[in-house]
Chains A and B, each alone.
Chain A
Amino acid sequence: MPVLQSETAKIRQFLKSRLQTDVTSFRGYESEWQNIRDLLFRTAEHGESNSALLLGTRGSGKTTLITSVLADLLPEANFYRNTVIVYLNGLLHTDDRLALKSATAQMNLENAVDGKVFGSFAENLAFLLECLKAGDKKKSKSVVFILEEFDLFCSHHNQTLLYNLFDVAQSAQAPICVLGITARLDVIELLEKRVKSRFSHRQIFLLPKENDFEGRVELFKILLKLPTDKEMKEYNKTFKPIPEDALQNQELPLLRRVFDPRSFSFSTKTISQWNKHIDALASNPKVISVLQNMYDYEVIEATFKTFLFELVCQLHDDNPLLTVEEVQAQGQQFEGDDKIHILCGLSVLELCLVIAMKHHSEIYDRDPFNFEMILTRYNKFANASTTMQGIERSVVLKAYEHVKNLELIAPISNASTSKVQKEYQLHRLLLTYGQIGQAVVKSQNLPTEVCQWAQSSLI
Chain B
Amino acid sequence: NVEAVGTPKRNIQLSNIVEEFAEGRRTSKVMHETPKKATVEEPKTPKSARGRPRKSTSTVVEEYKSTPKSATKLKLIRSGAIKPNVQARDAPVQISPDDQLAVARERLHVSAVPKSLPCREKEYSEIYNFLEGKIIDSCGGCMYVSGVPGTGKTATTTAVIRSLQVLAQEEEIPTFEFVEINGMRLTEPRQAYVHIYRQLTGKTLAWEQAYNLLDKRFTTKAPRRVTTVLLVDELDILCNRRQDVVYNLLNWPTVPSAQLVVITIANTMDLPERLLMGKISSRLGLTRLTFQPYNFRQLQEIVMARLTGTSAFDAEAVQLVARKVAAVSGDARRALDICRRATELAEEQSRKVDKFVSVSMGHVQKALGEMIASAKVQTIKCCSRMEQLFLQAVTAEVARTGIEECSFLGVYSQFEALAAFAGVTVPNPGRAIAICSRLGASRLLICENSRNDIYQKILLNISSDDVHYALQASSLI
Bound pair: A and B?
yes
The residue of chain A having its C-beta at the shortest distance from the C-beta of B149 within the complex is A197
Interface bits B332-343 vs A (CB < 8 Å: 1, else 0): 011001101100
Interchain nearest-CB distance for A317 vs B (Å): 35
Q: Determine the chain A residues whose CB is within 8 A of the CB of B429 once the complex forms.
A: 337, 339, 432, 435
- Answer whether A109 and B442 are a contact pair too, CB < 8 Å, given A172-B112, A197-B149, A339-B429: no
Question: Is B89's CB under 8 angstroms from A164's CB?
Answer: no
Give A183 to B429 CA distance when docked, in angstroms: 24
Inter-chain pairs besides A298-B386, A410-B455, 16 sampled, C-beta below 8 Å: A49-B111, A107-B86, A118-B73, A119-B74, A126-B185, A126-B191, A133-B84, A134-B84, A141-B86, A170-B110, A184-B443, A202-B337, A207-B375, A297-B386, A297-B427, A337-B430
Choose, from A63-71, A208-216, A266-274, A381-389, the stretch at the interface. A208-216
Question: Is B69's CB under 8 angstroms from A123's CB?
Answer: no
Give A202 to B384 CA distance when docked, in angstroms: 26
Interface bits A390-431 vs B (CB < 8 Å: 1, else 0): 000000000000000001001000000000000000001011
Interface bits B425-441 vs A (CB < 8 Å: 1, else 0): 00111110001001001
B95 contacts A by Cβ under 8 Å: yes
Question: Is A430's CB under 8 angstroms from B453's CB?
Answer: yes
Question: Is B442's CB under 8 angstroms from A183's CB?
Answer: yes
Give A121 to B452 CA distance when docked, in angstroms: 39
A84 contacts B by Cβ under 8 Å: yes
Question: Is B234's CB under 8 angstroms from A194's CB?
Answer: yes
- Answer whether A202 and B92 are a contact pair too, CB < 8 Å, given A113-B70, A207-B375: no
Give A44 to B198 CA distance when docked, in angstroms: 33
Q: Determine the chain B residues whose CB is within 8 A of the CB of A298 once the complex forms.
A: 384, 386, 438
Query: Looking at A49, A57, A130, A299, which has the most chain B CB atoms within 10 Å of its CB?
Result: A57
- Answer whether A134 and B92 are a contact pair too, CB < 8 Å, given A160-B187, A184-B442, A299-B382: no
Within 8 A of A (CB), among B368-395: 370-372, 374-376, 378-379, 381-386
Within 8 A of B (CB), among A166-207: 167, 170-174, 183-186, 193-194, 196-198, 200-203, 205, 207
Give A111 to B86 CA distance when docked, in angstroms: 12
Q: Which of A122, A174, A207, A209 has a CB less than 8 Å from the CB of B379? A: A207
Which 5 residue pairs spanning A and B have beta carbons closest together? A197-B149, A130-B84, A337-B428, A131-B84, A172-B111
Q: Determine the chain A residues whose CB is within 8 A of the CB of B194 once the complex forms.
A: 122, 126
Q: Which of A45, A58, A132, A185 has a CB less than 8 Å from the CB of B375? A: A185
Q: Determine the chain A residues whose CB is within 8 A of the CB of B453 once the complex forms.
A: 407, 410, 430
The residue of chain B having its C-beta at the shortest distance from the C-beta of A297 within the complex is B386
Q: Which of A113, A163, A435 has a CB less than 8 Å from the CB of B69? A: A113
A93 contacts B by Cβ under 8 Å: no
Within 8 A of B (CB), among A148-164: 158, 160, 163-164
Q: Determine the chain B residues whose CB is within 8 A of the CB of A109 once the complex forms.
A: 84, 86
Count residues on chain B whose CB falls below 8 Å from chain A CBs: 86
Give A201 to B325 CA distance when docked, in angstroms: 13
Give A366 to B194 CA distance when docked, in angstroms: 62
Query: Looking at A134, A139, A185, A430, which has the most chain B CB atoms within 10 Å of its CB?
Result: A185
B90 contacts A by Cβ under 8 Å: yes
Q: Which of B69, B191, B427, B444 has a CB less than 8 Å from the CB of A185? A: B444
Q: Which of B74, B341, B374, B427 has a CB less than 8 Å from the CB of A202? A: B341
Q: Determine the chain B residues whose CB is within 8 A of the CB of A407 once the complex forms.
A: 453
Category for how many chain A residues contact B: 35 or more
Q: Determine the chain A residues whose CB is within 8 A of the CB of B461 once the complex forms.
A: 186
B305 contacts A by Cβ under 8 Å: no
Q: Can you list 20 A-B pairs with a CB-CB distance of less than 8 A?
A: A46-B102, A48-B109, A114-B66, A119-B77, A127-B84, A131-B86, A135-B86, A163-B184, A171-B110, A183-B441, A197-B331, A201-B334, A202-B370, A203-B371, A203-B375, A335-B427, A340-B428, A410-B452, A430-B455, A432-B429
- Answer whether A57 and B438 are a contact pair too, CB < 8 Å, given A46-B95, A141-B87, A339-B429: yes
Question: Is A122's CB under 8 angstroms from B87's CB?
Answer: no
Give A416 to B228 CA distance when docked, in angstroms: 62
Give A133 to B73 CA distance when docked, in angstroms: 20
Question: Is B93's CB under 8 angstroms from A45's CB?
Answer: yes
B58 contacts A by Cβ under 8 Å: no
B150 contacts A by Cβ under 8 Å: yes
Question: Is B337's CB under 8 angstroms from A201's CB?
Answer: yes
Q: Which of B84, B195, B337, B374 has a CB less than 8 Å from the CB of A200? A: B337
- Answer whether A140 and B187 are a contact pair too, CB < 8 Å, given A185-B375, A203-B371, A435-B428: no
Interchain nearest-CB distance for B244 vs A (Å): 17
Q: Which of A108, A122, A193 has a CB less than 8 Å from the CB of B267? A: A193
Question: Is B379's CB under 8 angstroms from A143's CB?
Answer: no
Give A197 to B147 CA distance when docked, in angstroms: 13
Interchain nearest-CB distance for A296 vs B (Å): 5
The residue of chain A having its C-beta at the shortest distance from the C-beta of B183 within the complex is A158
Q: Which of B89, B113, B195, B381 has a CB less than 8 Å from the CB of A139? A: B89
Interchain nearest-CB distance for A278 vs B (Å): 24
Give A78 to B106 CA distance when docked, in angstroms: 21
Question: Is A139's CB under 8 angstroms from B92's CB?
Answer: yes
B88 contacts A by Cβ under 8 Å: yes
- Answer whether A296 and B376 are a contact pair too, CB < 8 Å, given A113-B69, A123-B204: no
Q: Which of B188, B371, B385, B424 has a CB less than 8 Å from the CB of A122? A: B188
Q: Determine the chain B residues whose CB is within 8 A of the CB of A209 once the complex forms.
A: 382
- Answer whether A143 and B86 are a contact pair too, CB < 8 Å, given A122-B194, A207-B379: yes
Interchain nearest-CB distance for A122 vs B (Å): 4
Q: Determine the chain A residues whose CB is within 8 A of the CB of B144 once the complex forms.
A: none
A338 contacts B by Cβ under 8 Å: yes
Q: Determine the chain B residues whose CB is within 8 A of the CB of A355 once the complex forms.
A: none
Q: Determine the chain A residues whose CB is within 8 A of the CB of B185 once the complex forms.
A: 125-126, 129, 160, 164
Q: Which of A84, A116, A193 has a CB less than 8 Å from the CB of B149? A: A193
Q: Determine the chain B residues whose CB is within 8 A of the CB of A127 once the complex forms.
A: 77, 84
Within 8 A of B (CB), among A203-234: 203, 205, 207-211
Q: Determine the chain A residues whose CB is within 8 A of the CB of B82 once the complex forms.
A: 110
Query: Looking at B85, B386, B424, B444, which has the most chain A CB atoms within 10 Å of its CB?
Result: B85
The residue of chain B having its C-beta at the shortest distance from the C-beta of A173 within the complex is B111
Q: Which of B74, B195, B334 has a CB less than 8 Å from the CB of A111? A: B74
Question: Is B443's CB under 8 angstroms from A186's CB?
Answer: yes
A38 contacts B by Cβ under 8 Å: yes
Q: Which of B84, B331, B371, B385 has a CB less than 8 Å from the CB of A110? A: B84
A442 contacts B by Cβ under 8 Å: no
Give A298 to B390 CA distance when docked, in angstroms: 12
Q: Determine the chain A residues whose CB is within 8 A of the CB of B95 once the complex forms.
A: 46
